[in-house]
Amino acid sequence: MVHSVADVDRLMDGVATHVFKPLRLWQFYVIDVEAALASVGDAWDATATEQLDVEDCDTLVKLSGDARTEWQRTYMLGDRAHAMGTRFGRTIDAGRTAAMLRALSSDGTKDGALAQLRALLDLLNLAYYREYDADVATAQKNIGERVKYERLDNGSWKFGKPIDDDYKIVDPLFTTVDTREDVNDDRRHLANNGWIWGGNPLDNFAGAQSKAYLLREVIVWGDCVKLNYGTQPADNPWLWEHMRQYTLGMARAFHGFRIDNCHSTPIELAEYLLDEARRTNPNLYVIAELFTGSESTDRVFVQRLGINSLIREAMQAWDAHEMSRLAHRHGGRPIGSLALDCLGEPGFFTDDAHGGTRINGIVAPLSGSLPHAMFFDCTHDNETPAQKRTMEDALPNTAIVAMTACASGSTRGYDELYPRLLNVVHEHRQYAALDDPLKVGLGAAKAKINRLHREIAAFQEVHVHHESDYVTVHRVHPVTREGVLMVAHCAFHGASETA
């Protein structure tokens, strides 16, 4: 059991001594000096030895210090990016190195040249050892912080659990699968999918140049693996076609898709598959879980993928003021704004796709807007109101969501007032069959709130006001000026009990 930060610190001392040290991971970073000396020595003895051209000779003579060392590093290793796939995988070009040494050698002897090379390789390896030290320190820090969260935070599924095969110190980065074929063992170990806190969603963290797994930056999901798509169908033809056929089947069967963790899906793949799906179902409704932390990055995904709605979570609000901000952000246009209804005027456009047909209509200015939201009172990832706020806040929370002029959503268990989040990976119990859902928890109230949400769909103007523990939302029809006013008394921890 892990009971304190001191326990975690002792645990990490053991990890450093008994895990990282025996792995000798530094061998994936550095140049094997002895092997490099042997290969260059053989190249020196070869009859057809390469020669340094005049331009390179002039450059080498002019440079000194760090600039010369960097030039030599690039000349010997080339410009190719280093992928840490094998131990001592960072190698030099023996022929080019021998040619460079001949140009630099003061006495022209092989022994003198190799001694000079040894000193140069030790200097280059110094930077690689420093890179290794920094990476190991980062990996150990990330492991330690993860253990602290999982073992010492009351909201974690490993809290209070022993360290054993069911509740490992850290979640495994790989899943080993059984195969029907006799394949190399390395091909049976598949990287688990996951996400990176604060990572760049446009980077492929499973790519050859990524060290995200090595640094333990990936918060893995143990129930699915990350497939190696590349960036185009030619990179893995079978996999792209297999997933294309699967996507077409889903597009024929369902009205819409929810893209889970959209920011961890290669954008080229998502773009391709959604294009294929819309050929089968042009009206496909696509919602996406997209937490990039950047509105500009969100726009990249929305524009390229044609996302209809982005999932937004009311349970992310930490107080009534933040709840009012979310309601305002997703609520609709301000009351009294000069909307398209007011600025439109009779006009026409030419439909070039149908022989230049003139089509009359109302022409209005094109105005920018935030990506449309699907606002959830609670998702399957969120802690319940009883955990994060109070049980009483379940009603005002869902009412505020319903009063916004966007799509709304919820999760099973919210209306029944489940006291705790059900872990979708580790929960094996089945939901209870309800004889009458309207008689359980918020059932009756939620039905009326959802009915109101549909009835005021055309009430696109909104005003949101916050005062102490209260949030008021006023929805108004832009033409008839009819309106609906809701006053919600939020019940965050510490909220007043009197209305």
Catalytic (active-site) positions: 260, 263, 381
H or E element, residue 460: none
Instruction: State both tokens at 494.
Output: 């510490």
Residue with tokens 């890179």: 131
What gap in Å lies between CA 330 and CA 405, rounded to an integer? 7
Cα distance from N-terminal residue to C-terminal residue, the chain: 46
The sign of the torsion formed by the CA atoms of 232, 237, 242, 248 equals positive
Q: Helices 394-402 and 443-455: crossing angle, nearest 10°?
A: 20
SS3 191: strand
H or E element, residue 280: helix 267-280
Residues in Cβ contact with 451 at an 8 Å cutoff, skipping those fewer than 6 apart: none
Residues in Cβ contact with 18 at an 8 Å cutoff, skipping those fewer than 6 apart: none
Nearest by Cα to 98 from 124, 116, 83, 81: 116
Nearest by Cα to 125 from 79, 85, 76: 76
Are 172 and 193 in contact by the 8 Å Cβ rule? The answer is no
Q: Which residues pair with 88 in a beta bridge?
A: none
Instruction: State both tokens at 20.
Output: 């990282």
